[in-house]
Amino acid sequence: MTIGQQIESAAEVFLSSGLTTPRLDAEVLLASYLKKDRIWLFVHSDRDLSVPEAEGFRRWVARRQEGEPVAYLVGHKEFWSLDFAVDPRVLIPRPDTEVLVEEVLKTLALQGIFSPDILDLGTGSGAIAIALASELPEARITATDLSREALAVAAGNAKRNLPAGRIEFLQGNLFDPVKGLFDAIVSNPPYIAAGEYSQLSREVRNFEPREALLAGEDGLDFYAIIIPQAASFLKPEGWLLLEIGHDQKKLVEGLFSQSGLYRDVTFRKDYAGRWRVAKARRKEEACG
């Protein structure tokens, strides 16, 4: 079969398996498999694949048909216009999380803080920490994760995208390995409730790390710890910024007010109009 026919055939398989972007997936996978770009595929659509190429691509199509995410198959994902290596050790960075990065940058710029101390809790692939480091060359950035495996991926991504030594990576449970005070603490923690896990798409459920997603019975376990504890690691009037699930605004608002440690609690919507970022400022007198 020619390249054009391979794409048609893979797209049909993906469509019948219920994948939502069948043609795009087929093109991205074949381009990546052949180590070319998608334009090259169009220019060479009449070229036949060799037998080993066709066989290798067929195996990728079968894996995608089973729901394996495109990003894991091709081994990377774009976030904040940077290229991140990803594999099943880390959550695939989501475009939604760029809104959190934007909000951190905007908040610090409005305060006139250009060489901030920033902590990224639960860094995964390193997406948030590395995006912030790329925008704030004077920032001192610490990134943590419970998973040593995730930190290995994050460190590789830092090497791929930044000058050496820009980010300090620490392994441990939430604040356990953290020392010092920060202008901003940012986190996209796990926030899926136990009962919602089975409703996630099979792409997420069967392939992405559970420990990056699950957060107890109500999905609030991490917020319930991070919100009170973060105050002890923020400079007076420092900022805590959290990604939240689209239906968690009220509950997270309640956790901020229960803590009594913050003021100026606000929320920001993503570009689909859903509440996805919580932001609050440590009260000057709060000590967590």
Ligand X SMILES: C[S@@+](CC[C@H](N)C(=O)[O-])C[C@H]1O[C@@H](n2cnc3c(N)ncnc32)[C@H](O)[C@@H]1O
- For residue 145, say whether it is annotated as part of any ligand binding site: yes
**Pattern 70-109, ligand X, x by CB under 6 A:** ---------------------x-x---x------------
- For residue 122, say whether it is annotated as part of any ligand binding site: yes
Q: Which own/partner pairs from 15-20 qualify as long-range (CB within 8 Å, at least 24 positions apart)?
A: 17/65, 19/64, 19/65
Q: What is the DSSP letter of 2?
A: B
The count of residues in the chain is 288
- Interface with ligand X, residue 124, by CB under 6 A: yes
- Interface with ligand X, residue 113, by CB under 6 A: no
N-terminal to C-terminal alpha carbon distance within the chain: 65
- Interface with ligand X, residue 6, by CB under 6 A: no
- For residue 191, say whether it is annotated as part of any ligand binding site: yes
Which residue, among 118, 62, 123, has the nearest Cα to 97 in the 3D structure? 123
Applying the rule CB under 6 A, the residues between 131 and 170 that interact with ligand X are: 144-147, 150
- Interface with ligand X, residue 277, by CB under 6 A: no
- Interface with ligand X, residue 122, by CB under 6 A: yes
- For residue 254, say whether it is annotated as part of any ligand binding site: no
- Interface with ligand X, residue 278, by CB under 6 A: no
- Interface with ligand X, residue 228, by CB under 6 A: no
Do residues 167 and 133 touch, judged by C-beta distance below 8 A? Answer: yes
- CB crowding 178-188: b at 16 or more within 10 Å, else e: beeebbbbbbb
- For residue 197, say whether it is annotated as part of any ligand binding site: no
Please give the order of strands across the beta sheet that includes 140-145.
167-171, 140-145, 117-121, 182-187, 234-243, 275-282, 262-269
Report the binding-site residues for substrate. 188-191
Q: Where on the chain is the footprint of ligand X (CB under 6 A)?
A: 91, 93, 97, 122-125, 127-128, 144-147, 150, 173-174, 188-190, 211-212
Annotated binding site: 122-126, 145, 188-191
